[in-house]
Amino acid sequence: MKLKNLIFVTLILVSCGGNNNSNQKSFTPKDRTTVEMSESERRAAIEAKKAEKGVDLGVALASNDVKLSVMPPFPKGDITEAISERIAVKLLHLTTANGIGGLNNVPGFALCASMDEVDKKLTSTAPQKMVTKYSISYSVRNLATDDVYASYEQEVTGVGGSWEEATRNAVNEIENNVHIQKMLSTASEKIITWYNENLGTFKKQVSTALGTNDYAYALALINSVPEKAVAAFEYATSIHDGVIAKFKMQNASKELVAMKQAILASENTLSPEVYAHLSLIPTDAPEYKEALALSTEYENKINQQREKDEMQKISAEERKHQLEMAQLESERMMVQYQSDAVSEEIQKLERELEYERKGFWGSLGSRVINLVDSF
C-alpha cells in the first residue's frame, strides 16, 4: 500500500514539473560574427569603408576672400541670450569650416539665422521629456542693402528635461552639411559677381555716403569689398586712406571729449583707451594740440603717483606696449563706428520699406561688436 502511494505521488510530481513548452531547445550558440578574411583583405575593406565616410571634396569651397559676420536670432521666448550666443558660435563654425575668409568685423555681409518654433511635444515617460522642433532659416545677406544672396532652411529637433534644455539641444543639432556648403558657395560667388557687375552702383553708394559726410558708413562699405572683386577692391583701396582721414577729422572733437572721460575713469593708471582716443585725433586737427597736452599731463600725474608709491616711472617699453594695446582698441572703436553706421542705414531702410521683420536688425552694430568681443 505504501509503495503504491509512493509511485502515485512520484508520477504526479513528474507530470507537474518543468516547462509546458513542448518545443524546448538547448543553448548551443553558433558563431555569427567571425568573418573569414585575410589581413590584407581586412585592411582593404577598412580603407574602402573609410573612403565611404570621407568628406566629399567636390563640394569644398573656394574662399573667394569673402568675409562674413554672423547674426544669430534675437533672444525671444525659449531662445535665451545664452542660446543666441551659442547659435552665433555655431554659425561662426559653419563659415570657417566652409572656407569663408573669417569673421568680418564690419557687418557688410552676414550669415544670418532666424529660428521659428514649429512644434512642441511632451512625452508620457518617466522622466518626462520635452521635445521642441525649430525651423532655422539661414541666409547670407548684404546688410547694407538687405540683398539676400543665398538661403537654406533646416529643421532641428531638441529633447530635454525642460523647454530651455530642449532648445539648447536643438541648437546642438546645427551641423555643417552639403546644403549649407552649397548656400555659402553660392553666396560668396554672388557677392563677387555683384561687385563685378555693379561697380557703378557701389561707387554711387560710397559717394552718396561721402556726400552726406557719413564717413563711417562709407568706410563700412569699402571695408566689405572682397579682394577677388578686383575692380571694386582697387577702387576701395584707392580711397580708403582719404576716407579714414576725413572720418577722423569729423570725429576729432568727439574723440577729445571721450579721451577726457577715459582719463577721468583711469584713476591714475595707464589706460590704453586714453591712447586709443588720442590716435583717432589727426595731428592736423585743431583738437590735437589739446589732446597731446592732456596726455602729457596724464602721464606726469601717473609718474608722480608712482613716485609716491615708490614704483618705477613709465618706461619706453611700457609706453610701446600701451600704444600697441591702444592700436587694437582704436580698431575696435572704428569698427563700432562703422557698425553703428550700417545699423542706422538698415533702420532707415526698415522705415522706408516697412520691412516685415521690423526690429530684427535693430541695434545691429552693438550686437555684432558684442559678438566679436565674445570670440
Partner 1 sequence: MHYTKFISLLAVTLMIASCGNSNSKVKSLAEGASGNIVAYENSAVNAIQQALPTLMVLPSDNLMKNSGALTTQTINGKSVVMRDYNKFFTSNMDNKAIISVIQNAFVQVNYPIQDLEQTLKQLETQEALDMVDGMEKDAKTMLLTVAQPDMIIELDYNSSFDMKKPVNEARTISYTLNVIDSYTSTVISSTSETGLTGENTASILSAGLEKSAKKMTSEIQNAFSDILTRGRNVTVRIAVGAGCDFSLNDDSIVDEPYSDWIVDYIKTHTVKGAYKMQRNTDKELYFVNCRIPLLNEDGTQYGVYDWARDMSKSIRKNLGVKATNKSQGLGEILITLDGLK
CA distance 210 to 348: 17
CA distance 140 to 64: 15
Q: Which residue bears the cell 577722423?
A: 248
- Select from 26-34, 202-210, 260-268, 353-361 the region that touches partner 1 (CB under 8 A): 26-34
Nearer Cβ to partner 1 (22/38) = 22
CB of residue 89 vs partner 1: minimum separation in angstroms? 17
Q: With binding defined as CB under 8 A, does residue 169 bind partner 1? A: yes
CA nearest 216: which of 192, 246, 179, 239? Answer: 246
The set of cell numbers assigned to 138 is: 539661414
Helix (H) / strand (E) element for 253: namely helix 230-266
Contact pattern from residue 130 through residue 159 relative to partner 1, giving x for each residue in contact according to CB under 8 A and a dash for the rest: -x-------------------------xxx
Nearer Cβ to partner 1 (5/23) = 23
Contact 256, 281 (CB under 8 A): yes
The set of cell numbers assigned to 118 is: 514649429
**Count of residues binding partner 1 (CB under 8 A)?**
28
CB of residue 22 vs partner 1: minimum separation in angstroms? 9
Q: With binding defined as CB under 8 A, does residue 27 bind partner 1? A: yes
User: How does strand 147-160 pair with strand 130-142?
Assistant: antiparallel
CB of residue 90 vs partner 1: minimum separation in angstroms? 16
Q: With binding defined as CB under 8 A, does residue 173 bind partner 1? A: yes
CB of residue 119 vs partner 1: minimum separation in angstroms? 7
How many of the other CB atoms lie within 10 Å of CB of 361?
Answer: 24
The set of cell numbers assigned to 62 is: 573656394
Contact pattern from residue 89 through residue 128 relative to partner 1, giving x for each residue in contact according to CB under 8 A and a dash for the rest: ------------------------------xx-xxxxxxx
Among 1, 3, 17, 30, binds partner 1 (CB under 8 A): 30
CA distance 196 to 216: 23
Residue ranges in contact with partner 1 by CB under 8 A: 19-21, 24-30, 119-120, 122-129, 131, 157-160, 169-170, 173
